Amino acid sequence: MTEAGFVEDVPDVQGPVLGPEARATADRIVAKYPDGRSALLPLLYLVQSEAGWVPRQGMREVAEILGLRTAEVEAVATFYTMVKLHPCGRYVLSVCTNPSCSLLGGRRLFDRAKELLGDASDHGVTDDGVFTLEEEECMAACDKAPVVSVNYLYYDRVGESDLEAMIAAIRAGDVPEAARGGVPGDLKAVSRTLAGIGSLRDSGAVPASPPIADDAANATGAADG
Amino acid sequence: MAEFEPIVTARWGGPPVVSLDAYAKSGGFQGLRRALAMEPTAVIDEVKASGLRGRGGAGFPTGVKWSFVPQDTGKPVYVVANFDESEPGTFNNRELIERDPFQFLEGLMICAYAVQCHTAFAYCRGEFVWPATIVERAVAELYAGGYLGGRVLDSDFALDIVVHRGAGAYICGEETALLESLEGRRGQPRLRPPFPAVEGLYASPTVINNVETLSFVPHILERGASWFASIGTEKSTGSKVFSVSGKVERPGNYEAPMGTTARELIVERAGGVLDGASVKAWTPGGSSTPLLTADHLDTPMDFDSVAAAGSLLGTGAVIVLDDTDCVVEAVGRFTQFYAHESCGKCTNCREGTWWSSRVLRRIEGGLGREQDLDLLHDIGRHMLFRSFCALADGAVSPIHSSLKYFRDEYEEHVRLGGCPFKAPAPEHMATRPEPPLEPEPVPEPGAGVGSRRVRLEEVLE
């Protein structure tokens, strides 16, 4: 989590990142939760779905929506590896090198990926803007080792030649279907999914739960009461 | 034992049961219906009587956990399902969701009813883009079918389920870090007490249960506590989905009664060691549990027996290393994992995981020194039981256990100036871009990180 790097190193973008439509979506995401601050990560994903990564301007906008300071948002954003603090390729290629995968070739696979996508490792991006390469921790699919994911959809028992073919196909715009979950969209699309767009209920149903007690909200330092 | 019928993996034989209709037709929701006809406290008593213990690692009795929730605080009660499965080697939650999401959700709903919670959360691991989508869709179907919302199955019980996705942090599987994360903060564990049952999410009473644990609940309600308690061992009732991976012929999830031996899991269920090799080392419950050896293969896999063998049942994730695999390399990789995933809150964990990882890399890379073995042990000693949560303790498990059982392998690395299991490439290793640790003052055996403090204490005396 802590290797995401310093935000200061990265140029900011001109705002706003979230247009009117995205702001409306943001409001619906916030409404999912008894306490709006719980929407912080989903909103960072929403920023990522618009910008392709999470620039500082996006953090400012999230802070404004939630009534937080930008520093509070930044503190959270820098903690989580899936919040991309640097511009990324459209496809994040992750190779698991944890022992269950490494015992069956995951380490060699990652080394090969590094050879193929040299510029893209260590949070970089390939020249064509297609790939960012990440060495992944255990992805909880050790029965399919070695596992590779593209924007977090998994490919099972990937060999070195499979990897080469996969990379070539993605470069050619023909993203192969994952083992489960279909063809991965680009990072913006998957960030939309991560923001929880799919879990928003359009019925406008009134939450069945009783509203959170004021003292409980205060006790957690809830920003929007 | 041959009579054992799978419980939570019973529907795995066919295609995934991901539609409400298919789930209801295959016998789903009987447990929920029975629960809704009972008093909430009676539901808790039933789960207590079943002896069900948490499958997420700690093994705390589930019904007891539920009974700790006070009903008189004037605050809402929350239930949070922990689907942040990230313990290396563990993948049963993922498959339970991919194949049978409604079973889990039914368990979550029963739990919510039992503790009178009206807003439950499913905290899904961020990388589980697809499994979490399955949960989202299942929840949407439950609303459409009248199973969620204002009146669950036409009862007076109201329940909402909110699906929440994490963002790539192992520590968020720790229950208090998970709550912090769900509140929109860095995933850093909280000091306990207060325990989540009293002050959890939004400082309100909260129950946190693992996906596998909750998946058992509908069956307990449907078939009764005594049926469940008749399976497994006296103190570890029921069955467990064991994740077997690494060097085995058929890696996979295998449900078996608690108390099934590791040998049976590895040899009979997973088809034995790959290519006919033999077991060198294995974890009983993921990388956070001390490694065991071929001598321990007849250990019954239940909480007490594994503890008696010097390890922990953890998540029941069996990672197998064969006799051609390098223990030092594997332990080094596990340790790199903990160094990466330490949240940084507690000094001993943050520093200890990082330094251990460096020393292990040095040994594996051929620049290890004899004293490094004691140094490693010593760093571990100063990490154990000194943090807010168990991450550091887990990180020490593979280090200390490998030093105990495979010390000769470490020594061989030092003697050879490289890894005995790799094609000789010491030069490449020695010139790897990341510089090795500086030569440093060699601590006396038994001294090390804490020696300064000891000396200070002596001075003070």
Separation between Cα atoms, residue A195 and residue A177, nearest integer Å:
22
Nearest CA to CA, how far is B118 from chain A (Å)? 5
Higher-confidence residue of B305 and B437: namely B305
Tell me what ipTM this predicted complex has.
0.90
Short-list B333, B348, B326, B325, CA closest to B413:
B326
Q: How many CB pairs under 8 A join A and B?
A: 224
Q: Please tell me if residue A138 touches chain B, with a CB cutoff of 8 Å.
A: yes
Q: Please tell me if residue B271 touches chain A, with a CB cutoff of 8 Å.
A: no
Q: Please tell me if residue B171 touches chain A, with a CB cutoff of 8 Å.
A: yes
Q: Please tell me if residue B238 touches chain A, with a CB cutoff of 8 Å.
A: no
Q: How many CB atoms lie within 10 A of CB B460?
A: 6
Q: Is the pLDDT of residue B449 over 80?
A: no
Separation between Cα atoms, residue B336 and residue B332, nearest integer Å:
6
Report the pLDDT value the prediction gives residue A3, as an integer from 0 to 100: 44
Of B160, B253, B344, the CB nearest to A2: B344
B336-384 pLDDT, tens digit per residue, is 999 999 999 999 999 999 999 999 999 999 999 999 999 999 999 999 9
| B243 three-class SS | strand
User: Which helix (H) or strand (E) segment is B83 a member of?
Assistant: strand B78-83
Return the residue of A nearest to B133 by Cα.
A198
pLDDT band with cut points at 50, 70 and 90 for residue B459: very low
Q: Please tell me if residue A88 touches chain B, with a CB cutoff of 8 Å.
A: no
Q: Please tell me if residue B118 touches chain A, with a CB cutoff of 8 Å.
A: yes
Q: Please tell me if residue A214 touches chain B, with a CB cutoff of 8 Å.
A: no
Q: Is the pLDDT of residue B159 over 90?
A: yes
Report the pLDDT value the prediction gives residue A58, as an integer from 0 to 100: 97
Nearest CA to CA, how far is A19 from chain B (Å)? 23
Least confident of A9-18, A175-184, B58-67: A9-18
Q: Please tell me if residue B160 touches chain A, with a CB cutoff of 8 Å.
A: yes
Nearest CA to CA, how far is A174 from chain B (Å)? 20
Higher-confidence residue of B307 and A118: namely B307
Contacts of A213 in chain B (CB under 8 A): 74-76, 204
When pLDDT is averaged across residues B143-170 and rounded to a whole number, the result is 95
Q: Please tell me if residue A204 touches chain B, with a CB cutoff of 8 Å.
A: no
| Average predicted confidence (pLDDT) for chain B | 92
Percent of chain B residues past pLDDT 90, beyond the cut: 90
Percent of chain B residues past pLDDT 70, beyond the cut: 91
Higher-confidence residue of B429 and A84: namely A84
Q: Is the pLDDT of residue B230 over 80?
A: yes
Contacts of A174 (CB under 8 A, 6+ apart): none
Higher-confidence residue of B11 and A204: namely B11
Separation between Cα atoms, residue A61 and residue A47, nearest integer Å:
9
- The verdict on a CB contact (< 8 Å) between B129 and A198 is no
φ, ψ of residue B155 to 5 degrees: the values are -90, -175
pLDDT band with cut points at 50, 70 and 90 for residue B422: confident
- The verdict on a CB contact (< 8 Å) between A98 and B140 is no
Return the residue of A nearest to B318 by Cα.
A100
Q: Please tell me if residue A31 touches chain B, with a CB cutoff of 8 Å.
A: no
Report the pLDDT value the prediction gives residue B437, as an integer from 0 to 100: 54
User: Which of B202, B204, B249 to probe the A interface (max A CBs under 10 A)?
Assistant: B202
When pLDDT is averaged across residues B389-402 and rounded to a whole number, the result is 97
SS (H, E, C) B127-149: CCHHHHHHHHHHHHHHHHCCCCE
- The verdict on a CB contact (< 8 Å) between B94 and A40 is no
Q: Is the pLDDT of residue B424 over 60?
A: no
B44-83 pLDDT, tens digit per residue, is 999 999 999 999 999 999 999 999 999 999 999 999 999 9
Short-list B236, B250, B341, CA closest to B287:
B341
When pLDDT is averaged across residues B264-269 and rounded to a whole number, the result is 97
Report the pLDDT value the prediction gives residue B302, as an integer from 0 to 100: 97
Report the pLDDT value the prediction gives residue A10, as an integer from 0 to 100: 75
Separation between Cα atoms, residue B147 and residue B242, nearest integer Å:
31
Report the pLDDT value the prediction gives residue B423, as an integer from 0 to 100: 64
Q: How far is C-alpha B380 from the chain's CA centre?
A: 20
pTM of the model: 0.90
B322 dihedral zone (left: phi>0; alpha: psi -120 to 50; beta): beta
- The verdict on a CB contact (< 8 Å) between A141 and B168 is no
When pLDDT is averaged across residues B245-272 and rounded to a whole number, the result is 97
When pLDDT is averaged across residues A1-26 and rounded to a whole number, the result is 78
Q: B65-85 burial, b for 16+ CB within 10 Å, e for fewer?
A: bbbebeeebebbbbbbbbbbb
Q: Is the pLDDT of residue A205 over 60?
A: no
How far are the Cα atoms of A7, A61, A127, B312 from residue A55, in angstroms, in the given order? 8, 10, 20, 43
- The verdict on a CB contact (< 8 Å) between B133 and A198 is yes
Report the pLDDT value the prediction gives residue B88, as an integer from 0 to 100: 96
| Average predicted confidence (pLDDT) for chain A | 86
Q: Please tell me if residue B31 touches chain A, with a CB cutoff of 8 Å.
A: no
- The verdict on a CB contact (< 8 Å) between A34 and B126 is no
Separation between Cα atoms, residue B251 and residue A145, nearest integer Å:
9
Q: Is the pLDDT of residue A165 over 80?
A: yes
pLDDT band with cut points at 50, 70 and 90 for residue A210: very low
Report the pLDDT value the prediction gives residue A1, as an integer from 0 to 100: 38
